A and B are shown apart, each in its own frame.
Chain A
Amino acid sequence: MIKKPISSGHPKPLPNRRSALRAALAGVGAFGLAGCDRLSNNPGFVKSLKSAQYLSEATQKLVAGPSAMAQEFSEADISPRFKPNGTMMPGDADYRDLLANGFAEWKLEVDGLVEKPAAFSLAELRAMPSRTQITRHDCVEGWSVIGKWKGVQLSHVLAQVRPTAKAKFVVFRCADSMDDPNADEDSTYYESISMSEARHAQTILAYDLNDKTLPVANGAPLRLRVERQLGYKQAKYLMRLELVEDFRDIRDGAGGYWEDNGYEWYAGI
């Protein structure tokens, strides 16, 4: 697994984070704040810590409303290199086949709670009205890069499939497995955002980065840009959008690959 927002200089988390933490805690038991670490290992306590994100989300939505725009920059501000993070080259055979054909056979499926499920080719998406934006990408690790994105507004795509009244979230299904692609357990990257966030003007499905076709390392052929949230929400290697009423039944139920690993679903902070 590479697509972890913990920087590359650090040891990879062990498959079982709980046991890794226990092992590490055994070594630091003597220290004064071991009590805090014990609390860190208490699921109920961590859940209450994490509930602060609802307060943050509500407050932030109050001061920066649904249509408030993220800062946009000038050409001069664009970073010399848009640092890729997480998966740089999916190892999944299906993706490799699509890549080998220049994504000619790739289609973005849009289904779930919609009146007209559809699948769009790259050419069809490129033929739709586009939006270009120079925005700052903020990784949860702390670094930022500025890049110029071109893509179709998600609101435009949604208008064509017509979400039903029950649809509350858009779930983004990606091509890249975070663990061994051949393992039994599905570890493909996924993410989800609210309908309000999905309809924001700067929420686009991007196919170009800095006036060039989106590179594989940055999520070719199509990735999400949801500019008022952190980097891990910007799902790469998009394959399918699924409109759902809630995401509790998907995988571990937290609404995304990193969310299932402890990160907040609301990544506006």
Chain B
Amino acid sequence: MSSPANPATPAARSPIAAADATSASDPAAARKASRTIYRHRVPVRVMHWVNVVCLTILLMSGLTIFNAHPALYWGQASTFDDPWLSIGAVDAPDGGIRGVTTLGSHQFSTDGVLGASRVGNETRKTVRAFPSWSTLPSPQWLALGRNWHLAFAWLFVANGIAYVLYAIFSGHLTRDLLPTRPEWAGIGQAVKDHILFRHPTGENAKRYNVLQNLAYLVVVFGLFPLLILAGFGMSPRLDAVFPGWVSLLGGRQSARSLHFLATFGLLLFTFVHVFEVLISGVWNQMRSMVTGWYTLPAAKGDKS
């Protein structure tokens, strides 16, 4: 079993240049560089897909819950006339309704998607913040949305705890996730490579690149804990664990806002994550997260 990454191999500062040099001078080395490695171990793969299922269900059922009161506030209590974000509908000149999203004092028309949208094949629009295709269940049904959300939140948290423990005790964290000193030093080059959509090849593709590492670390140790803590901050019973702790988040309504914002931070990560998978060899990447086996991409110009 080859390890997903080898800490003994310092990452090259310019992965592209290094790989190009190899393929140009030594075809045998180039073939070697495109060999298949065992990248993701079973626990990581299982927990990754459990997470995909949980987050999809949590997002969609969360939107159902949001729809029950589609406005966000800062502080302990709701200031109903003054949300920082609200999604609703206004009367349209044609006698129908028009969906609008209000952020601070700015109002945007988001008709058809946010605020007012068609449910299924209906001809008339319905007032609802997030459209039925994005919510679970698709009809506006708060009780059932909560049932889904509060059940899968448990699975998500259990999976998350299992992942963090695994990452620490298996060495996955130090070996694969924490950037090495040379990687930190190469962060400028990594940013440049990302902007130019250049992906590491050969030996350099064995390790997560430094931006990838940072993204994963921010999600696992930043967004997820914030999301969970803000979720706890909305529970009236957990409020009583230590009276006043919710004020550290800014109050219950701030906790609700943070829960929402962390969700969209996570959604942003997911878009970038899926985009990177799509452009860096979707079949290879998907196979590696299903079977564990990943083919190191050969350098440009190499046919093998």
Return A57 CB to nearest CB of chain B, in Å.
8
Return B188 CB to nearest CB of chain A, in Å.
41
- Chain A: residues with Cβ within 8 Å of the partner, total of 64
User: CA–CA, A170 to B240, complex, Å?
Assistant: 22
Which residues of A are found within 8 Å of B154, using beta-carbon distances? 52, 55-56
Q: Indicate whether A141 sits within 8 Å of B76 (C-beta atoms), given known contacts A68-B241, A71-B244.
A: no
Which residues of B are found within 8 Å of A36, using beta-carbon distances? 57, 60, 136-137, 148
Q: Indicate whether A142 sits within 8 Å of B65 (C-beta atoms), given known contacts A10-B127, A33-B60, A49-B148.
A: yes
A191 on the interface (CB 8 Å rule)? no
Q: Indicate whether A229 sits within 8 Å of B80 (C-beta atoms), given known contacts A5-B68, A33-B136.
A: no
A64 on the interface (CB 8 Å rule)? yes
Contact of A27 among B73, B122, B234, B247 (CB under 8 A): B122
Q: Indicate whether A227 sits within 8 Å of B236 (C-beta atoms), given known contacts A6-B140, A139-B69.
A: yes
- Chain B: residues with Cβ within 8 Å of the partner, total of 56
User: CA–CA, A56 to B153, complex, Å?
Assistant: 10
Contact of B236 among A26, A229, A263 (CB under 8 A): A229
User: CA–CA, A21 to B244, complex, Å?
Assistant: 40
User: CA–CA, A262 to B150, complex, Å?
Assistant: 13
Q: Tell me if B80 and A83 are in contact (CB < 8 A).
A: yes
Return B73 CB to nearest CB of chain A, in Å.
8
Q: Indicate whether A143 sits within 8 Å of B69 (C-beta atoms), given known contacts A63-B238, A69-B243, A77-B77.
A: yes
Return A56 CB to nearest CB of chain B, in Å.
6
Q: Is the interface of A mostly helix, strand, loop or mixed?
A: loop
User: CA–CA, A169 to B265, complex, Å?
Assistant: 43
Q: Which one of B69, B71, B234 has the highest number of Cβ atoms from chain A below 10 Å of its Cβ?
A: B69
Contact of B240 among A20, A25, A70, A261 (CB under 8 A): A70
Contact of A142 among B66, B153, B237 (CB under 8 A): B66
Q: Tell me if A70 and B243 are in contact (CB < 8 A).
A: yes
With CB as the reference atom, state the residue of chain B lying closest to A65: B240
B151 on the interface (CB 8 Å rule)? yes
Which residues of B are found within 8 Å of A11, using beta-carbon distances? 126, 140
User: CA–CA, A53 to B153, complex, Å?
Assistant: 11
B104-130: which have CB < 8 Å to A? Answer: 119-122, 126-128
